[in-house]
Chain A
């Protein structure tokens, strides 16, 4: 068969040699991983919506659950979680600046902005630990009829665990733990990845390699974590 000669620019041919996506293998795989992760989180959030739709009568009002703020007893709904959202957005911005510094081979810039990103991630994790602590300890509690040793008994339920919680339907606490926990674990692994990349940057690994694409890949993951939180914030806390 004769070789077909077509007038197509080399970078648009799918025949090999060049990436039809205009991206390296590593970056492409990071995108595909994030796509699959997006499906995991979509499933979790849709399951939350489903549970909430079915148990609408016993589902608590979120502003009656998350109104605490450190060092004060005032009733401040949504403010703390809003602050957490803001922290994550800012750490996302410092990550963009780190990636941008990498684009111009600016080693000092990468180290500075990536360092700030790691700090932002740690602050977020600390905030989430406080949120979980407040949620688990709870307030004054409510008396609930629950089954103990095969008998229905009236028990004072305080705070939350996986079996009971004082706020409303059991699934409410379960989804809180699972969704924010799954996201928090992503934040944790993101901080670890960023810290490793930061260490490599200080050691001049990327300078020797001739490009800072690893910062870009870690950045994609970090932005994804921020992206997921935007959805968790809306579908768990706002609606």
Chain B
């Protein structure tokens, strides 16, 4: 037979659900929405009440890391639940997530270079 099959029909065919299943899906979406909103509110409250100028350097470093962790938690929920990457198979998950490790290397390079540049500028200003 000489016709091209629609792949998507094979992988994304709509399916019927029982009311219980629908309820479970809705609940999951609602819980994640609440969580994302809560994290955002916490971030804003910290930002408003703990200004960089009013807290010590140590506290600010702590807040910084707290922000980064909250951001990664938010990103994880968006990617795994909203984008359904958690429901995809292992090959797809690995293919998408593993290359992001390179970003860590990029951050390392930028910090290292920035530090060197600051030293050069200080040397030059002497």
Pair from one complex: yes
A15-23, A119-127, A139-147, A166-174 - the one binding chain B: A15-23
Contact residues of B: prevailing secondary structure: helix
B55 beta carbon closer than 8 Å to chain A: no
Contact A224 B11, beta carbon cutoff 8 Å? no
Our pick among B64, B67, B70, B82 for the contact of A92 (Cβ within 8 Å) is: B82
In the assembled complex, the CB of B93 is this many whole angstroms from the nearest CB of chain A, namely 9
Give the complex CA separation of A77 and B31 in angstroms.
28
Contact B88 A23, beta carbon cutoff 8 Å? yes
Most buried by B among A24, A99, A237: A24
A186-194, A196-204, A212-220 - the one binding chain B: A212-220
Give the complex CA separation of A238 and B70 in angstroms.
12
Contact A78 B48, beta carbon cutoff 8 Å? yes
Contact B99 A43, beta carbon cutoff 8 Å? no
**Taking CB as reference atom, which chain A residue is nearest B16?**
A104
Contact A103 B78, beta carbon cutoff 8 Å? no
**Taking CB as reference atom, which chain A residue is nearest B115?**
A53
Give the complex CA separation of A209 and B16 in angstroms.
17
CB neighbours (8 Å) of A183 from chain B are none
Contact residues of A: prevailing secondary structure: helix
Interface residues on chain A, number (Cβ under 8 Å): 63
A230 beta carbon closer than 8 Å to chain B: yes
Contact B78 A227, beta carbon cutoff 8 Å? yes
Give the complex CA separation of A26 and B40 in angstroms.
33
B interface, size bucket: 35 or more
Our pick among B16, B43, B117 for the contact of A54 (Cβ within 8 Å) is: B117
Contact B14 A21, beta carbon cutoff 8 Å? no
In the assembled complex, the CB of A63 is this many whole angstroms from the nearest CB of chain B, namely 6
Contact A46 B14, beta carbon cutoff 8 Å? no
Please judge, given known A-B contacts A46-B106, A89-B33, whether A53 and B14 are in contact too, CB under 8 Å. no
In the assembled complex, the CB of B62 is this many whole angstroms from the nearest CB of chain A, namely 13
Contact A46 B83, beta carbon cutoff 8 Å? no
CB neighbours (8 Å) of A230 from chain B are 71, 74-75, 78
Give the complex CA separation of A89 and B82 in angstroms.
11
Our pick among A100, A103, A105, A216 for the contact of B29 (Cβ within 8 Å) is: A100
